[in-house]
Amino acid sequence: MTTPAPWCRAVVTGGAGFLGSHLCERLLDSGVEVDCVDNLLSGSEGNIAHLTERPGFRFVRSDVSSEAVTAQLPGPYDLVLHFACPASPCDYLRYPLETMDVGSLGTRNALALAHRDGARFLLASTSEVYGDPLVHPQREDYWGNVNPVGPRSVYDESKRFSEALVTAHVGAKNLNAGIVRMFNTYGPRMRAHDGRAVPTFVCQALAGDPVTVAGEGSQTRSLCYVDDTVDGVLLVAASGAVRPVNIGGGDEVTVLDIARRVIALTGSASPLSFIQRPTDDPERRRPDTTLARELLGWEPRVGWEEGIKRTIAYFSALPDTVSQAPRL
């Protein structure tokens, strides 16, 4: 049973995206009215179709980077979750300026809503703020190793700037705001062409196509199922913490092992295929989640096998998964 939330009304920017739609659903389940804001650049109305008839849910198709968005969101709100941003490499490389805008102008506008209504504000940040880390595992006090002019910088630096902007508002205006840094979340409602490892591998394996591993596949990621990430996000929001908090899985595994796991769990005969590794692709990634555990009592509960099985089941049920499988 879902525990009642400490808020009455929330706005979720990027609410039609993969993670945003799960947040909207969880908030509704806990009795919170939700305004979901999304320009559908990388989100999808299909992600929230099952929510549109539920009492207390409203979809606002708008760009949070536009000044007009504030007038479209009269509130009042007691929770502002800023989760709008292209998050997969294929998206932020296709939309570099929009990615920079949502981290700057979009964050400013979302902060203005929180100021206006005296709401709790939470920024969705990312493990990408650590870049290709020289410290392992990554703690919240690590400053990162980011290439500010590399191809990934539009995302990395957008998130680093948005963190700085939130921190400045906390100090200058005493805003009740927090930051959550999320690591490698996966699960239902990701897209076949998302560009990230789990959905790419699942769709290729289901289609019987070669599973494409970048480089030698020795780089590591730490997987966290979406339900666990949502738990962590809402715990950070309710905690009142004003410092960044890592939320991510402890299952650090190579990309090659992720591919092998997916092939085994789908029962696919797909071969492995090795492709060029992207520039500035992080070598190792695993969060130190001591703060989340000690401050919030949070730990992941869904194991990798169960999480990947659920993700496979989701894509298997989609009628066009095979036709949309990423190709070489």
Phi, psi of 133, rounded to the nearest 5 degrees: -70, 145
Identity of the amino acid at 220:
T
Q: What span, in angstroms and rounded, lies between the C-alpha atoms of 30 and 9?
A: 11
- 55-78 in b/e form (b: 16+ CB < 10 A) is eebebbebbbbeeebbeebebebb
Q: What one-character-per-residue DSSP string does 241-254 give?
A: --SEEEE--SEEEE
220-225 and 251-254 strand pairing: antiparallel
Q: Does the active-site annotation cover 186?
A: no
Identity of the amino acid at 24:
C
Q: What span, in angstroms and rounded, lies between the C-alpha atoms of 52 and 54?
A: 6
CB 258, CB 198: distance < 8 Å: yes
Task: With CA atoms as reference, report the closest residue to 185 among 232, 242, 150.
Answer: 232
**Residue 224 host element (H or E):** strand 220-225
Q: Which of 77, 92, 130, 155 is catalytic?
A: 155
Phi, psi of 58, rounded to the nearest 5 degrees: -140, 130
DSSP 8-state symbol, 106 = I
Half-sphere exposure of 14 (CA within 13 A, CB side): 26
Phi, psi of 264, rounded to the nearest 5 degrees: -65, -45
DSSP 8-state symbol, 53 = T
**Residue 27 host element (H or E):** helix 18-29
Phi, psi of 245, rounded to the nearest 5 degrees: -130, 125
Q: What span, in angstroms and rounded, lies between the C-alpha atoms of 25 and 32?
A: 10
Active site residues: 155
